[in-house]
Every structure is written in structure tokens, then in C-alpha cells.
Amino acid sequence: MRTRSVLALAGTATAFTLALSVATPASADGAVLTTGSAGGTAASVGDTLTAPLASGTSATLYSSATGTSGVSCTSSQFTASVAANPAAPGTATESVTGHTFDASSCTSNVFGVTGVSSITVDNLPYTASVGSDGTLTVAPASGSVIQTTVKLRTLLGSITCVYQAAGLTGKTDNSDSSISFTNQQFTKSSGSSLCFANGYFTAKYAPVTDGGARVYVN
């Protein structure tokens, strides 16, 4: 069972977006995003931030917020670049340019579906905003939407399901340099009747790193 994305599953990715949270700024004079430690070295504009799924977790797109029917992947990664990193407290911004899912790690338990051919996060890049209070929002370009295209293999042949969302909301956590999304709703915009009407995206990415150094939110 194969799949590829960012779903912010998108991504995607999307997807997907970055850094972590601390309830109060580590340093009033420091930047929102720092590397090495809270209140450490400021991440530079243009730096590339990456993160895999947190160890032992899965990224899921389920048909309901409380159910377990849908698509699940155990290997995924997002990539973003720092666009602005002001002094804390404040809001840093990033450009989410990539969100991928390892095809060999994805499965589906939807009735009638025999496998996942691909998951593609469309309309990248997205803009991720990271606040000193730990809030994270992901938004598409003006006039666009966050969109994910899911291709599934079924007993009746291949089907394509397209899901859209106006934006995503997540949170950051400095304890493990993570970002998390929980039950972010996508609505089906086109596809077979076998495509579920809504997709709820949940994932935790950690650690977020900049050149190998952990990223913190201040």
C-alpha cells in the first residue's frame, strides 16, 4: 500500500510548518524561533526546517473525528523555510514547501479499498505562522485552498478523492520540539462515492530541526 504527499494532509504537510512552544518567552530580547535551546541562537531567514513524524506515531486521515477508518502512514516528513523571525514575543512565519509520505508505510482500512496509490498535497507553498504562545496556523496563498489528492485502489479499479480545507491549526511544544495537528477537517470536493465525505487529519512531527539543531519557540 503506497502513498505520497503533505497533506498539511496536507501535508498537507501539508502539512505542512514548524517549531515548538513555550508558554512565556525564554528571553524578551531573543527571537521567536531559536536553535539549540529556548532563548538560544535565532534561526535565520532562509533557513530550512525539517521534521519527521514523531517516533512511534502515525499520520492519519480518517473519515470521522472519532473513528479509525481511513488512511494511516507511519513515515512522513515536512520541509519549510523561515520567512520572518521577529523578536519574542511575536509571530514567526515560514513557507511550507514540501510534505512527503513514504508509500511503503501507508495502509487503508476503508471498505472496498485494497490500497493507497498516492497522496499529493496540492497548491504549495503554504504559509505557516508560529506564535510565541505555541499556536500554529497553516494557510494557502490568497484565493487558494489547502488541497490533498488521494488515489486509492479498490475492488472496482482506481479512484481519485480530492479534499480541501481553508486552513489548518496546530500547536507547538518545546519539550520535544514538536508540532501537532489534531482532527483537522478536510471536505471532499470531488471523487467517487467510495471516497469518504470528510477527512480528519491528525499527525505529530518531531523533532523540528534547523541544520540538525532542534528548534524552539520563545
Give the number of other CB atoms < 10 A from CB of residue 53: 21
pLDDT bucket at 29, cuts 50 / 70 / 90? low
Q: Find the mean pLDDT for residues 110-118.
A: 90
Whether omega before 125 lies within 30 degrees of 0, making that bond cis, reads yes
What is the average pLDDT score of the chain? Answer: 88
Q: Find the mean pLDDT for residues 109-128.
A: 93
Q: Find the mean pLDDT for residues 54-83.
A: 95
In 3D, which of 15, 71, 70 has the Cα closest to residue 184?
15
Residues 6+ apart with CB under 8 A from 179: 17, 18, 19, 20, 51, 136, 170, 171, 172, 173, 204, 205, 206, 208
Q: What φ, ψ does residue 36 adopt, rounded to 5°?
A: 90, -40
Q: State pLDDT tens for residues 3-25.
A: 333 333 333 333 333 333 333 33
Give the number of other CB atoms < 10 A from CB of residue 144: 14
Q: What percent of the chain has pLDDT over 90?
A: 78
In 3D, which of 174, 132, 136, 134 has the Cα closest to residue 30?
132
C-alpha cell at 186: 478536510
Q: 199 by DSSP, 3-state: which?
A: strand
Q: H or E segment at 98?
A: strand 91-101
Residue 200 confidence (pLDDT): 98
